[in-house]
Amino acid sequence: MRRIAVCSGTVPTANRSILIDLAIILALTLIAVVGYKFSPLLLPKADLTLMPAAGCDLNRQTCQADMPGGGHITLEIGPQPIPVIKPLHVTATLAGIVANKVELDFAGVVMEMGFNRLTLLRGDDGRYTGETTIPVCVTGRMLWRATLVVETDRQRIAVPFTFEAPQAQN
Ligand SMILES: [Cu+2]
């Protein structure tokens, strides 16, 4: 009898929060898959879109995308994990690419979070840096896409990095 009661919807509270977590994870996975499939529609205009190395998480590490003919682009956002509302320090490096302009565009993957783009400035060490913040979301943690847009003489290269912020507190 007890089993029937559980199946009819009275899930204990602890289990319920696990179920909600699972549902969120499932939803995020779906969004990531669908977002990836339709990404050309959602991204800033570009001649070349490079996908960063699969599985790389900006919350924990610097992520890299390789150019088809050699060279690469990296992006690092600190502090890690990436917070909302607090200042973010952004660093991009380019290898084998001469850029006229480097910008970073933050957007919600499934949510309109407003225009949020900054121009990264080239330092003496050749790295491009900038500071910004991202807003807190009404739903709590959400998926963000930080698209690095690199303009060269010949083309506009976009590299969309997806990350979740803020990470679940434990
Ligand atoms: Cu949001």
Q: What percent of the chain has pLDDT over 70?
A: 78
- Helix and strand tally (H, E) in the chain? 3, 9
Distance of CA 33 to the CA centre of its chain: 14
Is 7 strand, coil or helix? helix
Determine the distance separating the centroid of ligand 1 and the alpha carbon of 97, expressed in angstroms. Answer: 33
The domain limits of the chain are 1-37, 45-165
Determine the distance separating the centroid of ligand 1 and the alpha carbon of 65, expressed in angstroms. Answer: 26
Ligand 1 ion: residues within 5 Å (CB)? 108, 111, 137, 142
Determine the distance separating the centroid of ligand 1 and the alpha carbon of 100, expressed in angstroms. Answer: 32
87 pLDDT exceeds 70? Answer: yes
| pLDDT recorded at residue 7 | 25
Mean pLDDT taken over the chain: 84
Report residue 9's pLDDT band, with 50, 70 and 90 as the boundaries. very low
Determine the distance separating the centroid of ligand 1 and the alpha carbon of 111, expressed in angstroms. Answer: 5
Rounded CA-CA distance 111/49 in Å is 21
CATH of domain 45-165: 2.60.40.10
Residue 168 backbone phi and psi in degrees, to 5: -60, 135
Determine the distance separating the centroid of ligand 1 and the alpha carbon of 113, expressed in angstroms. Answer: 6
| pLDDT recorded at residue 4 | 32
161 or 13: whose pLDDT is higher? 161
Determine the distance separating the centroid of ligand 1 and the alpha carbon of 69, expressed in angstroms. Answer: 36
Determine the distance separating the centroid of ligand 1 and the alpha carbon of 154, expressed in angstroms. Answer: 35
Which of 110, 57, 109, 105 shows the shortest CA–CA distance to 81? 57
Determine the distance separating the centroid of ligand 1 and the alpha carbon of 138, expressed in angstroms. Answer: 6
pLDDT tens string 141-164: 899 999 999 999 999 999 999 999
pLDDT tens string 96-149: 999 999 999 999 998 888 889 999 999 999 999 999 999 998 888 899 999 999
| pLDDT recorded at residue 1 | 37
pLDDT tens string 57-74: 999 999 999 999 899 999
Determine the distance separating the centroid of ligand 1 and the alpha carbon of 143, expressed in angstroms. Answer: 8
pLDDT tens string 38-55: 554 456 789 999 999 999
